[in-house]
């Protein structure tokens, strides 16, 4: 818990900064758009329609879409910008709708009175209509505030640190303390911000200057704090830290900490771990030099990035081809091959396998029609599954997608019969599962490779050299043990990584 | 002086006001009476262009109203709204101050003028900081009159000004209004469906029916020489009602 709380000031500030910036931008855009829409009836349907469509896109997808979109425009595709834009767009609808509703609900008799005393259209809006609509507009801002605080946790996978770091890594590594701290902090922030906006609204309505001032000053103070933090940070460290990326599963969190520790020890440079990046976000970020290094897997690059559909050659040859492709197309260096594979492999309880007499995938094929299979969110649409299906003629009775962290427990509890497991997961041994041999070689090899950006290799060769020191240093047994220490024993990825680095000479 | 010349308002195929002409001399008060939908309120609103006329013209102190920016025209003409029309989010003071602010008055002058106006409409200074919702109907209407008179307009338009009030309050306000008129020498047009009110307040009465101004004249002229049966019956209503009340009170005994 103490370890988690130490991260709080940084993540809370980042979260607050993102939320306030998105809300400010959303309000600045939505209120004028709402005014315009309420003046021009033909526009209203379009404006509300567009905002409504944005709202129906799931928040996570909206943020993820920003990444390639911004990259296509030549803007930074990961980090603060996509999160800010996504959240800003998301905050539009409640404010826009309430502005239109609030202005529409102003009594026509009052509007006529405003005309009758000789106000110009602008004076009418400023003196009569907006003040009367304001409580409704502010109610919209409050809705948007609570939504945005919650939604901002989803900016973690696009590379913007937020309280979501707690939740994503906490759920993956079964660290309930982290999840709890993240949720509690987000809830407190939502309540706090909502309270301040409410104070301003209430103070205005009841004409209590003190209340307006308290709410306004509170918001200003928070904005100042959120702004001051990055500025101070920018002044404090003129040198850009080495940025290590991680994807969103336990092994990646551990490897991220190992990489960071290795670089720190060998070079003394400042290091920052950008954790919980979406799978393709991590690669794009590396290609664009927004992060410097992370660990990926040869099979993933082979299948999803190089889009090679043919039956893969051997482990060495895939690695060689991946190495060449990365260098030629993106200037990315393979700094080290860590020495283990984290491949997809079908796994089932060993007792079950014995009863069915299944050791290899070709043994599984005749039984498949009576079995239910589980896989991670992407597996059933990945080319590996297509390849397995074609090579073995396997058709399962049912295929389910589930969170990878729940998959192992599901097969242990016989809620599914087979899972598409990750071979380096510590739970394969812990839950007495067996992996089935891919005897027809349909699934490519998945050697864990440490990728370094072109920029890092040019600017900081000593870092690449330090990372190269990890070559063949982690075998699959070791990785399973490390994963198990986190997933089953509840230790933190940082602690496990530290212990690993300590015991190595 | 207000002069309407051939005023008409058409909504689609419907002619709601049809070539209405009249003249209100300086210091005179004209009451427009007629049933609902006869076009009297539309006629009133065409004077300060809250409704734009489809045809005809209005002269305000000899100047063509259509040649003036509408909001500038309206600032020169006080308007008392049906159902009061105060701004609910502003205090009494702020409501009365609106025309003064629009006319570019200084703060101190506005403050002094509001005291004057409150006294004029017989309201105590304690109402200054209240919102309209915290006032009685009669008090609200007095504020409405004070706001209409704030910038000392020479012309005043009143749309059913006392219609929403209880009879006693209405009576009191009518008396106050008559006193005000005498004091300020206002030129005004007001609209009412209450013939008795028109008889009490107006110097001259215009009777409207189906968008037309049937007859204009002093109450006595109209009674003596009504243009048609409708005018005669309309003008007769208050007296007929009085007779009914009278006989009820005497009773068969």
pLDDT, mean over chain A: 88
Checking if the pLDDT of A447 tops 50, the result is: yes
In this prediction, residue B121 carries a pLDDT of 86
- The pLDDT of residue A145 is 94
- Answer yes or no: do B87 and A110 touch at CB < 8 A: yes
CA distance A282 to chain B (A): 54
Q: What is the DSSP string of A234-262?
A: HHH--SPPEEEE--SSHHHHHHHHHHHHH
pLDDT greater than 90 at residue A303: no
DSSP string, A409-433: HHHHTTSSSEEEEETT-THHHHTTE
**Residue A328 CA to its chain's centroid (Å):** 29
Return the CATH number of the domain spanning residue range A242-341+448-503: 3.40.190.10
Mutate to test the interface with A, among B52, B76, B78, B89 (most CBs of A within 10 A): B89
Cβ burial of B219 (10 Å; 0-12, 13-18, 19+) is: middle
**Candidates A112, A113, A118; nearest CB to B102:** A118
Contact in structure between B222 and B207 (CB atoms under 8 Å): yes
Return the pLDDT at A237.
46
- Tens digits of residue pLDDT in A51-90: 888 888 888 888 878 877 887 887 777 778 888 999 998 8
Instruction: For residue B156, list chain A residues with Cβ-Cβ distance below 8 A.
Output: none
**What is the topology classification, in CATH, of domain A344-435?**
D-Maltodextrin-Binding Protein; domain 2 (3.40.190)
- The residue that leads in pLDDT, A198 or A65, is A198
pLDDT digits (tens, 9 = 90+) for A145-174: 999 999 999 888 887 888 988 888 887 777
Superfamily of domain A2-236: MetI-like (1.10.3720.10)
Instruction: Kindly determine whether residue A115 and residue B74, on different chains, have CB atoms separated by under 8 Å.
Output: yes
Q: By three-state DSSP, how is residue A272 classified?
A: strand
Between chains, do B102 and A119 touch, taking CB under 8 Å as contact?
Answer: yes
Kindly state the average pLDDT of the residues A343-359: 93
Determine the pLDDT at residue A236: 45
Neighbour tally for B50: CB within 10 Å: 20
User: Rounded to an integer, what distance in angstroms lies between the CA atom of residue A185 and that of residue A376?
Assistant: 29
* pLDDT tens for each residue of A410-435: 999 999 999 999 999 989 988 999 99
How confident is the model over A261-290, as pLDDT tens digits? Answer: 999 999 989 998 888 887 778 898 898 888
Taking the Cβ of residue B49 and every Cβ of chain A, the question of whether any pair is shorter than 8 Å is answered with: no
pLDDT (mean) for A351-366: 92
A229, pLDDT greater than 80: no
User: A232 falls in which pLDDT band (50, 70, 90)?
Assistant: low
Model confidence at A469: pLDDT above 60: yes
Q: Which residues of chain B have pLDDT under 50?
A: none
pTM: 0.76
Q: Do domains A242-341+448-503 and A344-435 have the same CATH topology?
A: yes
CA A465, CA A128: separation in Å to the nearest integer? 68
The predicted structure's pLDDT at residue A230: 59
Q: What is the DSSP letter of A304?
A: I
Domain boundaries, given as residue ranges, for chain A: 2-236, 242-341+448-503, 344-435
């Amino acid at each position: 818990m103490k370890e988690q709380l130490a991260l709080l000031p940084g993540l809370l500030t980042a979260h607050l900064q993102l939320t306030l910036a998105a809300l400010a931008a959303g309000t600045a855009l939505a209120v004028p758009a709402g005014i315009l829409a309420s003046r021009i009836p033909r526009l209203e349907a379009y404006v509300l329609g567009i905002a409504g469509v944005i709202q129906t896109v799931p928040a996570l997808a909206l943020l993820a879409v920003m990444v390639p979109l911004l990259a296509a425009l030549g803007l930074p595709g990961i980090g603060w910008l996509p999160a800010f834009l996504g959240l800003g767009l998301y905050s539009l609808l409640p404010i826009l709708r309430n502005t239109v509703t609030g202005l529409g609900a102003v009594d026509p008799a009052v509007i006529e009175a405003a005309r009758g005393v000789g106000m110009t259209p602008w004076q009418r809006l400023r003196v009569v209509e907006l003040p009367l609509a304001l409580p409704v507009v502010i109610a919209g801002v409050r809705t948007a505030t609570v939504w945005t605080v919650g939604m901002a946790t989803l900016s973690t996978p696009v590379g913007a640190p937020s309280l979501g770091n707690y939740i994503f890594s906490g759920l993956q590594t079964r660290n309930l303390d982290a999840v709890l701290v993240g949720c509690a902090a987000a809830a407190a922030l939502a309540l706090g911000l909502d309270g301040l906006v409410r104070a301003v609204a209430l103070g205005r309505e009841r004409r209590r200057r003190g209340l307006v001032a308290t709410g306004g000053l509170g918001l200003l103070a928070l904005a100042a704090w959120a702004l001051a933090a990055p500025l101070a940070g920018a002044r404090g460290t003129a040198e850009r830290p080495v940025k290590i990326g991680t994807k969103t599963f336990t092994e990646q969190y551990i490897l991220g900490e190992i990489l960071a520790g290795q670089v720190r020890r060998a070079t003394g440079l400042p290091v920052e771990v950008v954790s919980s990046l979406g799978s393709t976000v991590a690669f794009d970020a590396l290609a664009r030099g927004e992060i410097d290094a992370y660990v990926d897997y040869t099979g993933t690059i082979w299948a999803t990035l190089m889009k090679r559909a043919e039956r893969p050659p051997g482990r060495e040859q895939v690695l060689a081809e991946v190495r060449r492709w990365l260098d030629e197309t993106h200037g990315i260096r393979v700094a080290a091959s860590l020495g283990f594979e984290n491949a997809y492999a079908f796994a089932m309880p060993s007792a079950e396998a014995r009863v069915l007499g299944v050791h290899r995938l070709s043994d599984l094929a005749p039984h498949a029609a009576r079995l239910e299979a589980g896989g991670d969110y992407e597996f059933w649409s990945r080319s590996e599954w297509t390849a397995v299906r074609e090579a073995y003629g396997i058709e399962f009775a049912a295929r389910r997608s589930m969170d990878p962290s729940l998959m192992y427990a599901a097969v242990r509890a016989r809620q599914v019969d087979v899972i598409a497991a990750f071979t380096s997961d510590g739970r394969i041994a812990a839950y007495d599962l067996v992996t089935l041999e891919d005897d027809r070689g349909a699934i490519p090899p998945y050697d864990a490779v440490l990728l370094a950006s072109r920029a890092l290799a040019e600017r900081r060769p000593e870092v690449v050299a330090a990372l190269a020191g990890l070559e063949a240093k982690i075998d699959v047994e070791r990785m399973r043990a490390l994963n198990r220490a986190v997933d089953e024993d509840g230790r933190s990825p940082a602690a496990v990584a530290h212990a690993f680095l300590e015991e190595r000479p | 002086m207000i002069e309407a010349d051939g005023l008409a308002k058409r909504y689609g195929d419907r002619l709601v006001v049809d070539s209405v002409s009249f003249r209100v001399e300086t210091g005179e008060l004209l009451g427009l009476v007629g049933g609902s939908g006869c076009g009297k309120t539309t006629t009133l609103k065409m004077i300060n262009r809250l409704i734009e006329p489809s045809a005809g013209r209005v002269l305000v102190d000899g100047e063509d109203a259509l040649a003036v920016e509408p909001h500038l025209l309206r600032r020169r003409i006080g308007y008392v709204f049906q159902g009061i029309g105060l701004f609910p989010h502003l205090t009494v003071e702020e409501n009365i101050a609106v025309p003064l602010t629009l006319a570019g008055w200084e703060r101190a002058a506005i403050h002094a003028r509001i005291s004057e106006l409150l006294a004029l409409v017989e309201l105590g200074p304690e109402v200054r900081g209240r919102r309209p919702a915290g006032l009685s109907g009669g008090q609200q209407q007095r504020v409405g009159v004070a706001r209409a008179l704030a910038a000392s307009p020479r012309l005043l338009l009143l749309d059913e000004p006392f219609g929403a009030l209880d009879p006693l309050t209405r009576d009191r306000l009518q008396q106050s209004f008559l006193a005000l008129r005498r004091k300020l020498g206002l030129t005004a047009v007001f609209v009412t469906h209450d013939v008795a009110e028109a008889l009490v307040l107006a110097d001259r009465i215009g009777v409207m029916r189906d968008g037309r101004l049937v007859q204009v004249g002093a109450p006595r002229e109209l009674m003596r020489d009504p243009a048609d049966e409708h005018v005669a019956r309309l003008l007769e209503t208050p007296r007929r009602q009085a007779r009914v009340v009278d006989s009820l009170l005497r009773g068969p005994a």
